[in-house]
Amino acid sequence: MSGRTAKALTEAAGLVRGPQRVLPLIHRLTHDKIRVTFDRRHLYSYATTTRPTSDAMELLIRWLLDAQRADGGIAAYYSLLTGYSESYPEVTGYVIPTLFDYSQLDFAHSDSAQPTKHESASAAVERAIQWLLSLQMPTGAFPGGLHGSSSEVQPSVFNTGQILIGLVRAWRETDRSDVRDAAIAAGGWLVKMQQSDGSWSGPGAYQGTAHTYYSMVSWALAALANQSADHRDDHRDDDRDDGRNGDLNDDRYGLAAERNCDWVLSQVRPSGWIDGINLQGHPSYLHFIAYILQGVLECAILRGRSDAIQTIANSAWVMLRKFETNKYLPGAFGEDFKNGRKFTCLTGNAQMSCVWLRLFEMTHDLRYLNAALKMNEMLKHLVPRNGPRGIFGGVSGSYPVWGAYQPLRYISWGCKFFADALMLEQRLTRSYEAACAP
Amino acid sequence: MRTVVLCSSVYSETACAMTVRLAQSGCAPVGALTLSSLDPGTLLRKLGQWGVRDVTRFAVAKLFPQNTGKREYLRNTYLKPLLTQRKQICRNLREIAGEYDFPITMCRDQNAPSSVAQLKAWSPDLIIFTGGNILRRQLLDVPRLGVLNMHLGLLPQIRGMNSPEWSLLKDIPVGVTVHYIDSGIDTGPVLQRCEFPDASQCHSLADLRNRLIAFGIDRVAEVVLALDRGSLAASPQSELDRDNQFFVMHEWLQARAVERLKKNCRSSVAAGTSHG
């Protein structure tokens, strides 16, 4: 029996163990079938705000907080067949900046009920950090996969990078020495595992090969480099040296980040397509394409690399034109953005919104903001406003929910990226309004 | 000059006004090809452009003109001088065709072989596009001179949708460009490019758009006459390598464009340049 068939059978058996999930499953399938049949796939529908951003934000954060398991980790997904998954270290790490951002939002304090939500988000971050610190391997690496899903724990470059993004933010916010040490150890391991060409392949890389979407790791390393430099400046007169400060006195994290960035840029075609996703057995999902763009863009912004920003802007513009012209972004593409599949990867959509918003911030081209506003509006319409825990306020892997990317699942990273997109939208629209004020 | 008008609907005020203006200039069309108003695509487009309330209001005015007294209703009041025929508002292309004696052909797709065959039968020198489908090569090749479009923005800076709104946000003067349509989006050779002098008097985006349409119809008529005299040549657009295409604007940005419009209006009043 193939692994895929076994997985499908295990998932289906989940309904036998949890028959209460049958009705919500039928409801979601029917809902999406009706919607894809009759809904106008028409951007005019999404050029009008019908759902307040703050309401959608509340739903997403509530979903994430509900997904936190007893151990402190965030579940990877809620399956319509099997319910919540085990805790997922990778997402638990990179959801930390999202929860920090949310807890610092203005509207998080706007009425008497809000401090509770703010405190919930802060408490969730604290529990997530503690759990992550307990998982770190002596080498500094973090394990891949779902927690407890395998007896043999394998270190993962990508997951370590994603978790590092959370640790760096937690270090900045809390100035805790244990968090700082964990971040430095993770960064040190990533630098050690990097190949001379700037990629990560071999042990620790998924399927043993190099992937361009590991640019997210370069973002993490660039963030670590900046945080290390800031920490060095803040503690310049500090006599204490516990031996770790030596790791902060050079730019090795930043240089490693740029090496990876350069390797990814060498994979860019004139069409804007970026080779090297290299996921055997899977199509090039929008989620991974967006990862490449997000990782390089954020790394480039942190490192002041205008050449990389321009290259990513070219690729992001191709996607923007497709979204504006076809009224949706396919969930997966063939080479050169051809042969788009007829489902939508919602996480990838939210990530593209983040990319366009950041490009608006960098270039001031309002067309990026315009596309992101419409994308966010479309995503707001697809967040369920009713249903049981795990569905209510969640972001499904695909739309329709049976699409090829994470079928029949509401995924935590979908909520994370959409919440990021909405918070970015709010920050940038406010600053634009302020700049336009007489 | 043999001209043909392409319309999105027989009830298109812009198409009606354009046709009347051409006829008044001595270039009455030899035919009009219009999309069927009952076509689902046309209905959806009208709903998107006008909204449910205006579509209902217009439908009631058309179905019960005597009972409701709504026959005078015009979406674009700046077209009233052109659309007033014998002291009555006329916004049905059939009535105008009767007045100026040219045939109308209904179609579901302006690019369809039957539509192209009809256009060839009219043997036009010039086709004037006032709305409908994205035009394909087989149609663009029919007229001797080309297919004219009135674009509500200054080319090459602002191509695509919501041009007046984008012009406001990008601090580019509002205006109208008359150009030939080619296979790109608003990339064809330019015949006339005019800044709109009264933008600072507009109190809303709809008002600005309506005034621009009325302004643009006059510019198209001028271009047709100049082409007839042989005194005008088209110029290829510059900046074709730059992507100046703009897309449907989200309402949040439209609200910022309105603010910009009102600010310009206040500045104009303060400077005493408003014509009132």
Cβ pair A324:B256 closer than 8 A: no
Q: Identify the residue among A366, A376, A425, A430 best suited for mutation to test binding to B, counting B beta carbons within 10 A and taking the highest.
A: A366
CA distance A266 to A249: 29
Q: What is the tens place of the pLDDT at every residue in A110-123?
A: 555 555 677 889 99
Strand partners, B176: B194
- String of DSSP letters for chain B: --EEEEES-TT-HHHHHHHHHHHHTT---SEEEEE-TTSHHHHHHHHHHH-HHHHHHHHHHHH-HHHH--TT--S-GGGHHHHEETTEE---HHHHHHHHT--EEEES-TTSHHHHHHHHHH--SEEEE-SSSPPPHHHHTSSSSEEEEEESS-TTT-EESSHHHHHHHTT---EEEEEE--SSSS-SPEEEEEE-TTGGG--SHHHHHHHHHHHHHHHHHHHHHHHHHT----B--S-TTS--EE-PPPHHHHHHHHHHHHHHHHHHHHTT----
Interface test with B, best of A329, A367, A425 (most B CBs within 10 A): A367
Mean pLDDT is lowest, of B3-7, B66-70, B129-133, B218-222, for: B66-70
pLDDT, residue A153, reads 84
Residue A249 has pLDDT above 70, yes or no: no
Here the ipTM equals 0.89
pLDDT score for B87:
73
Exposure on the CB side of residue A425, measured as CA atoms within 13 A: 31
Q: Which amino acid would we find at residue A287?
A: H
Picking from A319, A365, A371, A210, the residue whose alpha carbon sits closest to that of residue A275 is A210
Digit-coded pLDDT (tens) for B97-130: 999 999 999 998 999 999 999 999 999 999 999 9
Strands B159-160 and B245-246: parallel
Q: Which amino acid is at A255?
A: L
State how far residue A368 is from chain B, nearest Cα, in angstroms: 10
Of B169, B170, B252, the CB nearest to A49: B252
Res. B146 pLDDT band, cuts 50 70 90 = very high
* Cβ contact B247–A377 (<8 Å): no
Structure tokens at A325: 């012209």
pLDDT for position B89:
79
In angstroms, the separation between the Cα of residue A366 and the nearest Cα of chain B is 8
Identify the residue whose tokens are 């990097």. Answer: A194
Q: Check pLDDT > 80 for residue B11.
A: yes
Predicted local confidence at residue A29, as pLDDT: 87
pLDDT computed for residue B274 by the predictor: 47
Window 411-430 of A, Cβ < 8 Å to B: 429
Specify whether the backbone of B131 is left (phi greater than 0), alpha (psi in -120 to 50) or beta: left
Q: How far apart are CA B112 and CA B109, in angstroms?
A: 5
Chain A / chain B CB contacts < 8 angstroms? 46
pLDDT of A247 > 70? The answer is no
pLDDT > 50? residue A295: yes
Q: Which of A45-49, A79-83, A297-301, B147-151 has the lowest mean pLDDT?
A: A45-49
Q: Which residue has the tokens 């464009």?
A: B257
pLDDT at B49: 65
| Across B172-195, average pLDDT | 95
Residue A2's pLDDT band (boundaries 50, 70, 90)?
A: low
Cβ atoms < 10 Å from Cβ of A383: 23
Q: Which of residues 148-187 of B touch A (CB under 8 A)?
A: 166, 169-170
* Residue A256: pLDDT over 80: yes
**pLDDT recorded at residue A113:** 52
pLDDT average, residue stretch A136-159: 88
| CA angle at A148 for the pair A144 and A150, rounded to the nearest 5° | 70
Does the structure show a pLDDT above 60 at B36?
yes
- Contact flag A436-B259 (C-beta cutoff 8 Å): yes
pLDDT tier, B175 (very low <50, low <70, confident <90, very high otherwise) = very high
Mean pLDDT of chain B: 88
Q: Is A317 on the interface with B (CB under 8 A)?
A: yes
Question: B256–A432: do the CB atoms touch at under 8 Å?
Answer: yes
Residues B221-241, mean pLDDT to the nearest whole number:
92
Q: Do A42 and B246 touch (CB under 8 A)?
A: no
- Spell out the residues 6+ positions from residue A5 whose beta carbon is closer than 8 angstroms to its own: none
The predicted-structure confidence for B66-100, as pLDDT tens digits, reads as follows 554 445 678 899 999 999 877 777 878 999 999 99
Q: Is the pLDDT of residue A33 over 90?
A: no
CB contact B243 to A (< 8 Å): yes
What is the average pLDDT across B249-267? 90
Q: What percent of chain A has pLDDT over 70?
A: 92
Residues of A in contact with B241 (CB under 8 A): none
Is A40–B44 a contact, with Cβ atoms under 8 angstroms apart?
A: yes
Alpha carbon distance A261, A191 (integer Å): 14
pLDDT of amino acid B129 = 97
State whether residue A432 sits within 8 Å of chain B by CB: yes
Q: What's A181's DSSP letter?
A: H
From the list A367, A368, A371, A354, the residue with the least C-alpha distance to A295 is: A354
Is the dihedral angle over the CA atoms B196, B200, B201, B202 positive or is it negative? positive
Cα–Cα distances in angstroms (integers) from residue A200 to residues A91, A161, A189, A211, A263, in the given order: 20, 11, 12, 7, 10
Give A204-244 pLDDT, tens digit per residue.
989 889 999 999 999 999 999 999 999 888 877 665 555 55
B195 in reach of chain A (CB within 8 A) = no
Note whether A367 contacts B247, CB cutoff 8 Å: yes
pLDDT at residue A144, rounded to an integer: 87
Identify the residue whose tokens are 């990179």.
Answer: A94
d(CA A401, CA A34): 12
> Is the CB of A371 less than 8 angstroms away from the CB of B247?
yes
Residue A52 has pLDDT above 80, yes or no: yes
Residue A436 near chain B (CB below 8 Å): yes
Q: With a cut of 50, say whether residue B275 has pLDDT above it.
A: no
> In the predicted model, is pLDDT for residue B242 greater than 90?
no
- Rounded to the nearest angstrom, the minimum Cα separation between B247 and chain A is 7
Q: Which residue of A has its CA nearest to B46?
A: A44
CB–CB of A286/A352 below 8 Å?
Answer: yes
A226 beta partners: none
